[in-house]
Amino acid sequence: MAAALAVLVHMAPDASAHTSHAAHAEAAAVSCAGSNTISFSPGLSLPARRTRIGGDGAYTCLSTDPALSSGVSSISGGGWNGCFFSDATTAERITWNTGEQSTVVYHLGNVQQVVGQAVVLVVGRVVKGKFKGHTVASPGLQFTLDPLKCLSKRGVERITGPSTLVIV
């Protein structure tokens, strides 16, 4: 039986460069914990190949905005991906329990092989909605419980696991 576990940590740098009162109100800290499931079609293999990316996430949040307590996300994109390489553009659309939305576009991806596992860092920006303009960095560690799945024709088709989302 093959399975994969993804641990994704979403962080955004301090927004202290904003000077208007509205910008400061928008810089409210949000810290969420939850889980993500990401699918790859075709699955990740040793050689990178063109893939489509899809998935979803759910978060429970603590925020300086007392009304914001949770969110769900939908993830889509594509590019060249493999077990140890990623060059893809991915969008994550987060719908907060308040009804507001944030769309993050990740353009830059770096995957490094460390002790048999892939250490992932994707960098993007909130391009629409709540927190628009904030930079988002998403480092994570992908544990492939059956690394030989990367050698198969189907590859690693799905990763799932705990995640956090932090926007400052």
**Nearest alpha-carbon partner for 43 in 150, 161, 143:** 150
Question: What percentage of the chain carries pLDDT values higher than 70?
Answer: 67
Low-confidence spans in the chain with pLDDT less than 50: 1-28, 113, 115-116
Structure tokens at 133: 């303009």
Beta strands in the chain (DSSP E): 4-10, 30-44, 49-63, 70-82, 85-96, 101-114, 117-129, 135-144, 156-167
Which pLDDT value is given to residue 145?
54
| pTM of the complete model | 0.74
* Distance in angstroms (rounded) separating the CA atoms of residues 32 and 83: 27
Of all residues in the chain, the percent with pLDDT exceeding 90 is 25
Q: What is the pLDDT of residues 59-106, one digit of tens each?
A: 899 888 899 999 999 999 999 988 877 788 989 999 999 999 999 898
Let me know if 51 is exposed, middle or buried by CB neighbors in 10 A (0-12, 13-18, 19+). buried
